[in-house]
Structure 1
Amino acid sequence: MTLPIVKVAAVHAAPVYMNATATVSKAISFIEEAARHGAELVVFPESFIPGFPVWAALWAPIYNHDWFRLMVSNSILIDGPEMAQIQATARRNGVFVSMGFSESTEASVGCIWNSNALIGDDGTILNHHRKLVPTFYEKMVWAPGDGHGLRVNNTRIGRIGALICGENTNPLARYALAAQGEQIHISAWPAIWPTRMPGSGQNFDNLAANRIRAGGHSFEAKAFGILNSGFIDKIMFETLAASGDHQAIEVLENTPRAATQFLDPTGAVIGDTLQTEEGIAYATFDINACVEPKQFHDIVGYYNRFDVFNVEIDRRRLTPARFTPETTVARQGQPSGERVNVAETPFADMV
C-alpha cells in the first residue's frame, strides 16, 4: 500500500475585516499563489470570511448591536455567489480548499453559524460543517451547529477532516473524525482570543493551548495536523480600535497572537511556522508516516475496548421546521370528485 505525498498550504492572513466581498477576492489571490507554489490543499483560518468577531470580547453585548448587524450582512450562504467564486477558483487551479466562514441562512435574517467548508479540486463542496458549540462570548454571535459535518472525506491526497477552534478540545468530536480513518486534520483558529484585561490575571494563551490540542489530536489519531490561525493586520486593528476605547486597544495590543504551523503524526512540528507576519506557510505530508505509529496506539483499532465503550454520532442536519409536500386527497363526506389541499387544512398530517 502506497499512500500519497502532498504539499499543503495554510494561509496565515487577516480578512478585509467585516467585508465579505473584499475578503473573498483576497482569498482567491492566496489560493492562486499557493497553487503556483505547488500546494494541493489550501487552508484558511476560522471565520476568515468576513473575520472573527473579536468585538464580542471587547465590549458588552449592549454595545455590539451595530457590529452584529455588520457581521450578519457580511456572512455568506453555503450555496451563495461568494462561495461559488471560491469553488470556481479551486476547480480552475485543481486544488482542495478548506474555508472558514460565517454562514447565513435563508431561514432567518439574523441566524449565523461558525462554519467550515471543504471544497474539492473539482470545485464541489465535499463537506459543510457548523461548529457544534460557540465558545464563551461567541455564543452572543453564532448559533450552535450539529453533527452533520463530522465527516472525513477520502480524497486523492488523503483522508481529510476539520474541526473549528474549541471543538479540538472536545475528545468525542475528535474521536468521531479519528474513527473515520482521518489522515490530515485541519484545526482552524482566530488570531487572538481575549479572556481578560491586561494586568488582571492570566489571559487565555491560545498560542500554547492551540498547540497542545492540535498536537494531542495528531498524536492520538496518528494524523498530520494543519494548525491554521488568523492574523490581525493594520486595517483590522484600526477598525476595531476606531472607537478610541483605550481599554479595548490595550487588549488588542497585549493578547497573545496565535501561530500557524504543521504537525506530523507524532505531534511534532514540521514545515513552516508563521505568527507575527502575514503570509502562506507550507509543509509536505507523506501520508505513509501515519502507518507506523498505529502499531503503538491505534485508538480506533486494537488499542480500544469496543466492548466497554460505545460511541454513537448523530449526523443529521438540523433544520428549524420540516415541511411535508402539498398534496390533495378526497375528504370523506365531500361530494364526489371534490378534493382538498392537505397542506392548507388543520392537522393535515393526521388526514
Structure 2
Amino acid sequence: MKTIPPTPPTGELVPLTSLRGLAAWWVVLFHMRALLAPWLPAPVLTFLGAGNLAVDLFFLLSGFVIYLNYAERLTSRRVSTREFLFRRFARIYPLHLLILLAFLAYVSAALLFGSARIEEENFDYFLASLFLVQNWGFTDALKWNVPAWSISTEFGAYLLFPALLAMLAPWRRPAWLLVATTIALGVAVHAIFALFALPYPDAVAQTGLIRCLLQFAMGMLVCELYQRLAGQSRLAMPLLALAGTLAGLHILAGAPVVPLVWASLILGLALARNRVLEWAPLLWLGNISYATYLCHYIAIKIFKLLFVAEGETVGLLPLLALTAAILTLSAVLYHGFERPAQRWLNLAWDRRRAPRHWASAG
C-alpha cells in the first residue's frame, strides 16, 4: 500500500468535539420528546423529532476522526492493523459492556417482579450485543440498549477501515473526485431507503450497517479534503452556508441531502475559527458525549418506571432533574470508568508489545 504523504499536525479539532456533544444531546432529547411534549412548542418538538439524524453526523465524524488519526500511521505501518483494532476496541467496548450489564440487571429485575415478558428483551439480542454485531443484519428490531445499534455498525466500520483505506486511497485522488465521490455516497444513502421503500432514517435494523459504512467513507474523504485545505479559513463560511441551504431544502422539500448537510458542516467547522464551539463547557460535553449517548436510554427507562404514570403529564422539575441526572451520570462514567478502562487496556497493549530486556548471565 502506498504511504500517505505526511501532513502537519493540526491538534484536536475542538469545534468538532463540541459538535459531537451537542449531537449527543440532540439524541437524548429525541428520546425524551414524548415526556417534554406538554412543555414545548410544536416547532421545538419537530426539531427534537429529527434528533435521530444526529446518528448520521456521528458516522461522518467517526470516519473523519479515524482517517485523521490513523490513515497515515496505518499506511506507513507505524501502527499495525491489530493495534488499530485493539485501540478502537479499548475506546468503545468497556463502557458498552458496562451499560449492557446494567441493562441485564434492569431486565432481570423487571422479569423478577413481573413487569416485563421474556420476549420483550430476548437474550439472542443480548448475545449479539455482547459481541457488538446486533445491527449487522442478524436481527429485525432494536432491543436492550437501543442507541448501541450505531456502536455496532461503527465497530463494523473499524474492522473494514484498512480495506476502505486501500480501496478509496483518498490521498491519491484529485480534489474534484473526492467531492464527486462524497456527493455520490451521500445520495446513495437516501437511494437505498428509496429503493426498498423504507422511510429515512428509520428501518434501522435493515439499513443501519450500510448507512454507517457509506457515511463513514464520506467522513474519510471529507478529512482528506480538510487536510488539503487546512489553514484556508475563508472557505469556512461558504461551506457553513451550503450546509444551511441544504438543511433548508431537506426541511422544506424533503430533499435527499442529509449526509451532505453533515459533510459540509464538518468541513466548514474544521476550517473555521469558531470561538463559540471552543467554549470549555461545550468541549467538556463533547468529551463525555460517548458516555451520554450510551447511558441516557437506560436512565430514561428507569425514570419512566419510577415516576411516570400512564396518561399523566410529567412535571417540568422532574424532567430537569432527569436531564441533570443524565449529565451527572455521563461525567461519572467518563471520568470514573470510560477513560480509566481505556488507559488500562492501552497500557496493557503497550506493555505486551514493549521489547523485553533480559539481563545477561554471568
How does the TM-score come out when normalised to structure 1? 0.31
Relative CO higher for 1 or 2, CA cutoff 8 Å, sep ≥ 6? 2
Q: Comparing both structures, which one devotes a greater share of its residues to strand?
A: 1
The structure whose residues are more often helix, as a share, is 2
TM-score by length of 2: 0.30
